[in-house]
Amino acid sequence: MMTAQEYEASLREMNFRVYLLGELVENPVDHPMIRPSMNSVKMTYALAEEKRYEDLMTATSHLSGERINRFCHLHRSSADLVRKVKMLRLLGQKTAACFQRCVGMDAINAVDSVTYEIDRELGTDYHRRFVNFLLKMQEQDWTVNGAMTDPKGDRGLAPHRQADPDLYLRVVERKEDGIVVRGAKAHQTGAVNSHWLLVMPTIAMGPEDADYALCFAAPSDAEGVLHIYGRQSCDTRKLEGGTIDVGNRQFGGHETLMVFEDLFVPYENVFMCGEYRFSGALVERFAGYHRQSYGGCKVGVGDVLIGAAALAAEYNGVARASHIRDKLIEMIHLNETLFSCGIACSAEGCPTASGTYLIDLLLANVCKQNVTRFPYEITRLAEDIAGGLMVTLPSEKDLRHPEIGPIVEKYLCGVAAVSTEERMRVLRLIENLALGTAAVGYRTESMHGAGSPQAQRIMIARQADLDEKKKLARNIAGIG
């Protein structure tokens, strides 16, 4: 396995083409707006080095028998699925941000079982190629970026009917030794902190969309790949050099618009090309795994937010007020409900034909549906407890100013035992999670990441077996 330091060094060797605020970034690793997101992924390596987290952070490869990082592992049991959720909660607690590496883990697990099934039915060679790729990923301990969401243009039209055919990623040329692909993937979490990309189709497709039914791997810094870095609320605070106003001094997440400019992919790295009938299964499984993931990562970040709200209450001198205690209990109840869903869909996991375990899809979708709601309520309560000062605080520069600093210090203190600076730090952390850069990962991503709420409702309807429930009712009511 790579150490955290080796991971950072490995990114320095890469040649990303990334634009941020209209400029080509020379050195993404040290860019103050990108660096915190790299720190988050780095934690997935750092914690794997710690003996006390060995059981959660590492696993034994069923392919090589070697100890590997769990982010490179195929789930071999429902216990593995449970450990995954616990690992993500731990990382959420340590970073209070999106640590990005899960998309690749979820992608390899989905691609494994689906390529196995394509080969079994059509006699293709995709699964062998995929396993070769996976072995290298495990050996080198790569961070792999699972890429699913196409820009999609007019949502009312199928891929082949779009005014611009590139609005869904497609194959534009089939050569003797590989394919040429063009298009884009949007909201690419952690793209510039990843070694490789694992691209999947974004929706179930019909025969006319065969050119869009694509799954392949490519290096994230390949010549034909361009990244345009997404903005986050309050992100330029990271350029100010302080440690208070950013709220989270060390960690963050990122997304890019990832553009494929006629990228060549050798056949060895192509895992689906034209088998449109299987694109729906791939989407469903990847989304299912990522919906499970949210029952871990968001809960870990929620733990930090609940802790911050409790601290803010203490610093404001209201920790013992009964309504404050009740609000904290409500936040904990909601957060642990999310965790329960993550654990439940894992415990109910079953093996697929390839031997890789799949979560219970109904419960994973229920998990994510709750995630589209509860973090909003948890955030609302945190804002309630924090008080309005969370958004009216002067800046760190004012606090440090020789003349006005002492005034800020004097008037913005809470309980006497806590410094104004500490009070500012905790309020800025809550602000960061509620409205700042971390709100991307904790709030809006809770809504749209791993699929928007309606996508889960469709899956819940499909998985729920309402006819069976009607039969139960007829039986009890004595209806023939």
Task: Provide, rounded to whole angstroms, the least separation between the CB of residue 296 and ligand SF4.
Answer: 7
Q: Using CB under 6 A, which of 189, 346, 370, 379 touches ligand SF4?
A: 189
For residues 33 and 473, give the distance between their C-alpha atoms in angstroms, rounded to a whole number: 57
Residue nearest to Fe ion (CB): 449
Joined tokens for residue 256? 């890019």
8-state DSSP, 48: G
Binding at 293: pick from ligand SF4, Fe ion, none (beta carbon under 5-8 Å per type): ligand SF4
* Annotated catalytic residue 294: yes
* Annotated catalytic residue 98: yes
Binding at 441: pick from ligand SF4, Fe ion, none (beta carbon under 5-8 Å per type): ligand SF4
CB 17 within 8 A of CB 226: yes
DSSP 408-427: HHHHT--STTS-HHHHHHHH
Joined tokens for residue 312? 């803010």
* Annotated catalytic residue 189: yes
DSSP 155-194: TTS-GGGSSSGGGS-EEEEE-SSEEEEEEEEEEEETGGG-
* Annotated catalytic residue 102: yes
* Annotated catalytic residue 215: no
Joined tokens for residue 262? 């006629």
Task: Provide, rounded to whole angstroms, the least separation between the CB of residue 446 and Fe ion.
Answer: 9
444-463 mask for ligand SF4 (x: CB under 6 A)? -x---x--------------
Buried b (16+ CB within 10 A) or exposed e, 352-388: bebebbbbbbbbbbbbbbbbbebbbebbebbbebbbe
Task: Provide, rounded to whole angstroms, the least separation between the CB of residue 92 and ligand SF4.
Answer: 7
Buried b (16+ CB within 10 A) or exposed e, 409-434: eeebbbeeebebeebbbbbbbbbbbb
293-312 mask for ligand SF4 (x: CB under 6 A)? xx--x---------------
Pairing of strands 178-189, 67-69: unpaired
Joined tokens for residue 345? 């869909």
Q: Using CB under 5 A, which of 92, 183, 302, 449 touches Fe ion?
A: 449
In this chain, which stretch among 76-84, 264-272, 291-299, 335-343 interacts with ligand SF4, using CB under 6 A?
A: 291-299
Task: Provide, rounded to whole angstroms, the least separation between the CB of residue 301 and ligand SF4.
Answer: 8
Residue closer to ligand SF4 (CB basis): 98 or 184: 98
From the list 356, 311, 338, the residue with the least C-alpha distance to 61 is 356
Q: Using CB under 6 A, which of 441, 451, 455, 456 touches ligand SF4?
A: 441
In this chain, which stretch among 61-69, 96-104, 113-121, 383-391 interacts with ligand SF4, using CB under 6 A?
A: 96-104
Residue closer to Fe ion (CB basis): 375 or 449: 449
* Annotated catalytic residue 8: no
DSSP 284-322: HHHHHHHHHHHHHHHHHHHHHHHHHHHHHHHHHT-TT-H
Q: Using CB under 6 A, which of 41, 43, 96, 98 touches ligand SF4?
A: 98
For residues 92 and 253, give the distance between their C-alpha atoms in angstroms, rounded to a whole number: 11
Task: Provide, rounded to whole angstroms, the least separation between the CB of residue 294 and ligand SF4.
Answer: 6
Q: Which of 75, 187, 227, 290 is labelled catalytic?
A: 290
Binding at 306: pick from Fe ion, ligand SF4, none (beta carbon under 5-8 Å per type): none
Q: Which of 255, 275, 284, 383 is labelled catalytic?
A: 255
In this chain, which stretch among 220-228, 328-336, 385-393, 441-449 interacts with ligand SF4, using CB under 6 A?
A: 441-449
Binders of ligand SF4 in range 74-93 (CB under 6 A) = 88
Joined tokens for residue 467? 């006819």
* Annotated catalytic residue 290: yes
**18 forms bridges with which residues in the sheet?**
227
Residue closer to ligand SF4 (CB basis): 100 or 354: 100
102 touches ligand SF4 (CB under 6 A): yes
For residues 334 and 306, give the distance between their C-alpha atoms in angstroms, rounded to a whole number: 11
Q: Contact residues for ligand SF4 (CB under 6 A)?
A: 88, 98-100, 102-103, 189, 293-294, 297, 441, 445, 449
Active site residues: 98, 102, 189, 255, 290, 294, 297, 445
Q: Contact residues for Fe ion (CB under 5 A)?
A: 449
